[in-house]
Amino acid sequence: MAIARDGTGIGATTRALRSQIHPVFMTPPLAASLFGAILAGTVDPMLATVHVAAMFAAVYTAHVKDGYVDFHVRGEDDDHPLTARGCRVALALSTATFAACCLVLGVLVDLLAVALVVPAWLIAYHHAPQLDMNPVTATTGYPLGIALSVLGGFYVQATTLTAVPLGFAVVFLALLSGIKVIDDAQDYAYDRSIDKRTVAVAVGPDRAYDVAYGLMAVALAAVVAFAVARIFPPTALLAALAFAAVAAVARRADPELATMLLIRGSYVFLAVLVAAVRFDPIGHLV
Protein backbone atom coordinates (compact mmCIF):
# COMPACT_ATOMS: atom_id res chain seq x y z
CA MET A 1 0.00 0.00 0.00
CA ALA A 2 1.29 3.47 -0.89
CA ILE A 3 2.51 5.98 1.65
CA ALA A 4 1.64 9.06 -0.43
CA ARG A 5 -1.92 9.71 -1.60
CA ASP A 6 -0.89 11.57 -4.78
CA GLY A 7 1.50 9.05 -6.33
CA THR A 8 4.01 6.28 -5.83
CA GLY A 9 7.76 6.05 -5.83
CA ILE A 10 10.52 7.72 -3.86
CA GLY A 11 9.71 11.22 -5.07
CA ALA A 12 6.05 11.13 -4.09
CA THR A 13 6.85 9.45 -0.77
CA THR A 14 9.52 12.03 0.06
CA ARG A 15 7.19 14.91 -0.78
CA ALA A 16 4.43 13.46 1.36
CA LEU A 17 6.71 12.94 4.36
CA ARG A 18 8.27 16.38 3.91
CA SER A 19 4.81 17.97 3.79
CA GLN A 20 4.47 17.40 7.53
CA ILE A 21 7.35 19.78 8.24
CA HIS A 22 5.63 23.10 8.93
CA PRO A 23 8.34 25.75 9.51
CA VAL A 24 6.02 28.35 11.08
CA PHE A 25 5.10 26.00 13.93
CA MET A 26 8.35 24.03 14.08
CA THR A 27 10.73 26.98 14.34
CA PRO A 28 9.72 28.14 17.87
CA PRO A 29 10.31 24.77 19.64
CA LEU A 30 13.67 24.30 17.93
CA ALA A 31 14.67 27.90 18.65
CA ALA A 32 13.52 27.48 22.26
CA SER A 33 15.86 24.49 22.62
CA LEU A 34 18.80 26.57 21.40
CA PHE A 35 17.69 29.47 23.58
CA GLY A 36 17.82 27.19 26.61
CA ALA A 37 21.33 26.15 25.61
CA ILE A 38 22.39 29.79 25.30
CA LEU A 39 20.96 30.49 28.76
CA ALA A 40 23.30 27.83 30.14
CA GLY A 41 26.30 29.92 29.09
CA THR A 42 28.44 27.31 27.39
CA VAL A 43 27.06 25.22 24.52
CA ASP A 44 28.14 21.69 23.67
CA PRO A 45 27.21 21.51 19.94
CA MET A 46 26.55 17.77 19.96
CA LEU A 47 24.23 17.86 22.97
CA ALA A 48 22.44 20.88 21.52
CA THR A 49 21.99 19.06 18.21
CA VAL A 50 20.59 15.94 19.86
CA HIS A 51 18.11 17.95 21.91
CA VAL A 52 17.01 19.96 18.87
CA ALA A 53 16.56 16.70 16.95
CA ALA A 54 14.39 15.34 19.77
CA MET A 55 12.20 18.45 19.67
CA PHE A 56 11.94 18.20 15.88
CA ALA A 57 10.84 14.58 16.13
CA ALA A 58 8.24 15.47 18.76
CA VAL A 59 6.72 18.31 16.73
CA TYR A 60 6.78 16.20 13.56
CA THR A 61 4.90 13.53 15.48
CA ALA A 62 2.27 16.11 16.45
CA HIS A 63 1.80 17.27 12.86
CA VAL A 64 1.45 13.74 11.49
CA LYS A 65 -0.93 12.63 14.23
CA ASP A 66 -3.06 15.77 13.87
CA GLY A 67 -3.29 15.26 10.11
CA TYR A 68 -4.14 11.59 10.53
CA VAL A 69 -6.92 12.31 13.02
CA ASP A 70 -8.33 15.34 11.19
CA PHE A 71 -8.44 13.66 7.75
CA HIS A 72 -8.56 9.90 8.21
CA VAL A 73 -10.52 9.73 11.49
CA ARG A 74 -12.65 12.85 11.87
CA GLY A 75 -12.97 13.74 8.18
CA GLU A 76 -12.44 17.43 8.99
CA ASP A 77 -9.79 18.18 6.36
CA ASP A 78 -10.43 18.16 2.62
CA ASP A 79 -7.10 16.54 1.77
CA HIS A 80 -3.94 15.07 3.28
CA PRO A 81 -0.68 14.08 1.55
CA LEU A 82 -0.24 10.80 3.48
CA THR A 83 -2.35 7.67 3.36
CA ALA A 84 -3.42 6.15 6.67
CA ARG A 85 -0.56 3.67 6.34
CA GLY A 86 1.78 6.54 5.43
CA CYS A 87 0.80 8.33 8.63
CA ARG A 88 1.60 5.23 10.67
CA VAL A 89 4.97 4.85 8.93
CA ALA A 90 5.78 8.53 9.54
CA LEU A 91 4.80 8.20 13.20
CA ALA A 92 7.00 5.12 13.55
CA LEU A 93 9.97 6.96 12.00
CA SER A 94 9.56 10.09 14.13
CA THR A 95 9.05 8.06 17.30
CA ALA A 96 12.12 5.94 16.58
CA THR A 97 14.14 9.12 16.02
CA PHE A 98 12.84 10.57 19.26
CA ALA A 99 13.68 7.38 21.17
CA ALA A 100 17.20 7.36 19.75
CA CYS A 101 17.70 10.96 20.90
CA CYS A 102 16.45 10.06 24.38
CA LEU A 103 18.88 7.16 24.52
CA VAL A 104 21.80 9.42 23.58
CA LEU A 105 20.77 12.04 26.15
CA GLY A 106 20.41 9.36 28.81
CA VAL A 107 23.93 8.12 28.13
CA LEU A 108 25.66 11.48 27.63
CA VAL A 109 23.75 13.51 30.23
CA ASP A 110 21.45 11.68 32.68
CA LEU A 111 17.92 10.39 33.19
CA LEU A 112 16.59 13.79 34.26
CA ALA A 113 17.49 15.11 30.81
CA VAL A 114 15.34 12.33 29.36
CA ALA A 115 12.54 13.10 31.83
CA LEU A 116 12.47 16.70 30.59
CA VAL A 117 12.23 15.55 26.97
CA VAL A 118 9.72 12.69 27.06
CA PRO A 119 6.69 14.85 28.01
CA ALA A 120 7.12 16.80 24.78
CA TRP A 121 6.50 13.64 22.74
CA LEU A 122 3.60 12.59 24.97
CA ILE A 123 1.93 15.98 24.45
CA ALA A 124 2.59 15.80 20.71
CA TYR A 125 1.21 12.30 20.25
CA HIS A 126 -1.87 12.78 22.42
CA HIS A 127 -2.77 16.30 21.27
CA ALA A 128 -5.28 14.78 18.84
CA PRO A 129 -7.78 13.41 19.55
CA GLN A 130 -7.43 13.58 23.34
CA LEU A 131 -5.91 16.87 24.49
CA ASP A 132 -7.44 19.08 21.79
CA MET A 133 -10.97 18.43 23.09
CA ASN A 134 -10.45 20.30 26.37
CA PRO A 135 -10.07 24.11 26.56
CA VAL A 136 -7.06 23.99 28.90
CA THR A 137 -5.08 21.21 27.24
CA ALA A 138 -6.00 22.33 23.71
CA THR A 139 -4.59 25.75 24.54
CA THR A 140 -1.50 24.86 26.56
CA GLY A 141 -0.20 21.78 24.71
CA TYR A 142 2.00 23.57 22.18
CA PRO A 143 3.15 26.32 24.62
CA LEU A 144 3.97 23.71 27.26
CA GLY A 145 6.07 21.86 24.70
CA ILE A 146 8.05 25.04 24.03
CA ALA A 147 8.47 25.67 27.76
CA LEU A 148 9.83 22.14 28.15
CA SER A 149 12.13 22.76 25.18
CA VAL A 150 13.66 25.75 26.98
CA LEU A 151 14.14 23.76 30.18
CA GLY A 152 15.51 20.71 28.40
CA GLY A 153 17.85 22.76 26.22
CA PHE A 154 19.24 24.38 29.35
CA TYR A 155 19.49 21.19 31.37
CA VAL A 156 21.41 19.12 28.82
CA GLN A 157 24.11 21.81 28.89
CA ALA A 158 24.16 22.72 32.59
CA THR A 159 22.81 19.50 34.20
CA THR A 160 20.85 21.69 36.61
CA LEU A 161 17.84 24.01 36.58
CA THR A 162 17.92 27.57 37.89
CA ALA A 163 15.43 30.41 38.24
CA VAL A 164 16.41 31.85 34.85
CA PRO A 165 15.23 29.00 32.57
CA LEU A 166 12.24 28.36 34.82
CA GLY A 167 11.26 32.03 34.54
CA PHE A 168 11.58 32.01 30.77
CA ALA A 169 9.58 28.77 30.56
CA VAL A 170 6.72 30.37 32.52
CA VAL A 171 6.81 33.47 30.31
CA PHE A 172 6.65 31.45 27.10
CA LEU A 173 3.89 29.25 28.46
CA ALA A 174 1.67 32.25 29.24
CA LEU A 175 2.54 34.27 26.12
CA LEU A 176 2.08 31.43 23.64
CA SER A 177 -1.08 30.20 25.37
CA GLY A 178 -2.55 33.63 24.69
CA ILE A 179 -1.60 33.38 21.02
CA LYS A 180 -3.04 29.85 20.82
CA VAL A 181 -6.41 31.08 22.13
CA ILE A 182 -6.60 33.58 19.27
CA ASP A 183 -5.42 31.00 16.76
CA ASP A 184 -8.20 28.64 17.85
CA ALA A 185 -10.75 31.46 17.55
CA GLN A 186 -10.31 31.30 13.76
CA ASP A 187 -12.14 27.95 13.79
CA TYR A 188 -14.81 28.95 16.31
CA ALA A 189 -17.84 28.13 14.14
CA TYR A 190 -16.54 24.77 12.98
CA ASP A 191 -15.18 23.76 16.38
CA ARG A 192 -18.53 24.58 17.93
CA SER A 193 -20.34 22.46 15.31
CA ILE A 194 -18.30 19.36 16.27
CA ASP A 195 -18.30 20.06 20.03
CA LYS A 196 -14.57 20.75 20.07
CA ARG A 197 -14.20 22.81 23.23
CA THR A 198 -11.52 25.39 22.62
CA VAL A 199 -11.49 28.50 24.81
CA ALA A 200 -13.46 30.39 22.15
CA VAL A 201 -16.15 27.70 22.18
CA ALA A 202 -16.20 27.48 25.97
CA VAL A 203 -16.50 31.20 26.75
CA GLY A 204 -17.36 32.83 23.42
CA PRO A 205 -15.11 34.68 20.94
CA ASP A 206 -15.23 38.07 22.69
CA ARG A 207 -14.28 36.72 26.11
CA ALA A 208 -11.69 34.48 24.47
CA TYR A 209 -9.96 37.60 23.17
CA ASP A 210 -9.95 39.01 26.70
CA VAL A 211 -8.46 35.75 28.02
CA ALA A 212 -5.84 35.72 25.28
CA TYR A 213 -4.61 39.26 25.77
CA GLY A 214 -4.81 38.82 29.52
CA LEU A 215 -2.41 35.87 29.29
CA MET A 216 -0.06 37.86 27.08
CA ALA A 217 -0.19 40.80 29.50
CA VAL A 218 0.68 38.48 32.38
CA ALA A 219 3.66 37.16 30.40
CA LEU A 220 4.97 40.65 29.64
CA ALA A 221 4.42 41.75 33.24
CA ALA A 222 6.41 38.72 34.36
CA VAL A 223 9.29 39.77 32.09
CA VAL A 224 9.29 43.21 33.70
CA ALA A 225 9.13 41.73 37.21
CA PHE A 226 11.96 39.27 36.52
CA ALA A 227 14.06 42.04 34.97
CA VAL A 228 13.52 44.30 37.99
CA ALA A 229 14.49 41.40 40.26
CA ARG A 230 17.59 40.91 38.05
CA ILE A 231 16.61 37.32 37.30
CA PHE A 232 16.37 38.38 33.65
CA PRO A 233 18.88 40.84 32.16
CA PRO A 234 17.52 44.44 31.92
CA THR A 235 17.66 44.19 28.13
CA ALA A 236 14.76 41.72 28.32
CA LEU A 237 12.52 44.76 28.81
CA LEU A 238 13.10 45.58 25.14
CA ALA A 239 11.61 42.21 24.20
CA ALA A 240 8.49 42.99 26.23
CA LEU A 241 8.14 46.39 24.57
CA ALA A 242 8.60 44.93 21.09
CA PHE A 243 5.94 42.28 21.60
CA ALA A 244 3.58 44.76 23.27
CA ALA A 245 3.75 46.93 20.15
CA VAL A 246 2.84 43.95 17.94
CA ALA A 247 0.03 42.91 20.30
CA ALA A 248 -1.44 46.44 20.21
CA VAL A 249 -1.74 46.22 16.43
CA ALA A 250 -3.04 42.64 16.50
CA ARG A 251 -5.73 43.58 19.04
CA ARG A 252 -7.58 45.45 16.29
CA ALA A 253 -7.23 42.71 13.67
CA ASP A 254 -9.36 39.68 12.83
CA PRO A 255 -8.29 36.31 14.30
CA GLU A 256 -6.42 35.16 11.17
CA LEU A 257 -4.36 38.34 10.80
CA ALA A 258 -3.92 38.65 14.56
CA THR A 259 -2.53 35.11 14.73
CA MET A 260 -0.08 35.82 11.91
CA LEU A 261 1.09 39.04 13.56
CA LEU A 262 1.40 37.51 17.02
CA ILE A 263 3.30 34.42 15.87
CA ARG A 264 5.80 36.62 14.06
CA GLY A 265 5.85 38.92 17.05
CA SER A 266 6.81 35.94 19.19
CA TYR A 267 9.79 35.40 16.85
CA VAL A 268 10.86 38.98 17.49
CA PHE A 269 10.30 38.49 21.21
CA LEU A 270 12.53 35.41 21.24
CA ALA A 271 15.20 37.08 19.08
CA VAL A 272 15.44 40.07 21.40
CA LEU A 273 15.59 37.78 24.43
CA VAL A 274 18.44 35.83 22.85
CA ALA A 275 20.32 39.09 22.27
CA ALA A 276 19.49 40.21 25.81
CA VAL A 277 20.90 37.06 27.36
CA ARG A 278 23.87 36.79 25.04
CA PHE A 279 25.01 40.44 24.98
CA ASP A 280 22.92 42.40 27.55
CA PRO A 281 23.95 45.87 26.32
CA ILE A 282 21.75 47.65 28.86
CA GLY A 283 23.11 45.57 31.73
CA HIS A 284 26.62 46.65 30.85
CA LEU A 285 25.58 50.27 31.41
CA VAL A 286 23.86 49.88 34.78
Evaluate whether the domain defined by 162-280 bears CATH number 3.40.50. Answer: no
Strand partners, 4: 82
Per-residue pLDDT tens over the stretch 60-93: 999 999 999 989 988 878 899 999 999 999 999 9
Higher pLDDT, 233 or 51: 51
Confidence of residue 146 (pLDDT cuts 50, 70, 90): very high
Write down the domain spans for the chain: 18-158, 162-280
Beta-carbon count within 10 A of 12 CB: 16
Mean pLDDT computed over 212-230? 95
Supply the pLDDT for residue 119. Answer: 97
- Kindly report the backbone phi and psi dihedral angles of residue 82, in degrees, each rounded to the nearest multiple of 5, phi listed first: -100, 140
Span 18-158 CATH architecture: Orthogonal Bundle (1.10)
Per-residue pLDDT tens over the stretch 100-145: 999 999 999 999 999 999 999 999 999 988 898 899 999 999 999 9
Mean pLDDT computed over 208-228? 95
Instruction: Assess whether the previous peptide bond of 129 is cis (omega < 30° from 0).
Output: yes
Q: Is the pLDDT of residue 284 over 90?
A: no
Buried b (16+ CB within 10 A) or exposed e, 201-215: bbeebeebbebbbeb
Where does residue 197 rank: exposed (0-12), middle (13-18), buried (19+ CB within 10 A)?
Answer: middle
Mean pLDDT computed over every residue of the chain: 92
Residue from 105, 34, 32, 101 nearest 61 by CA: 101
Per-residue pLDDT tens over the stretch 243-272: 999 999 999 988 889 999 999 899 899 888
Beta-carbon count within 10 A of 92 CB: 11
Confidence of residue 281 (pLDDT cuts 50, 70, 90): low
Instruction: Choose the weakest-confidence range: 38-52, 113-127, 204-218, 225-239.
Output: 225-239
Confidence of residue 208 (pLDDT cuts 50, 70, 90): very high
Q: Is the pLDDT of residue 285 over 50?
A: no
pTM: 0.92
Supply the pLDDT for residue 7. Answer: 82
Supply the pLDDT for residue 24. Answer: 83
Higher pLDDT, 285 or 239: 239
Nearby residues of 184 by Cβ (< 8 Å), 6 or more positions away: 138, 139, 191, 198, 199, 200, 208
Nearby residues of 216 by Cβ (< 8 Å), 6 or more positions away: 174, 175, 178, 179, 243, 247, 262
Query: Which DSSP category does 161 fall into?
Result: -
End-to-end CA distance of the chain, in Å?
65
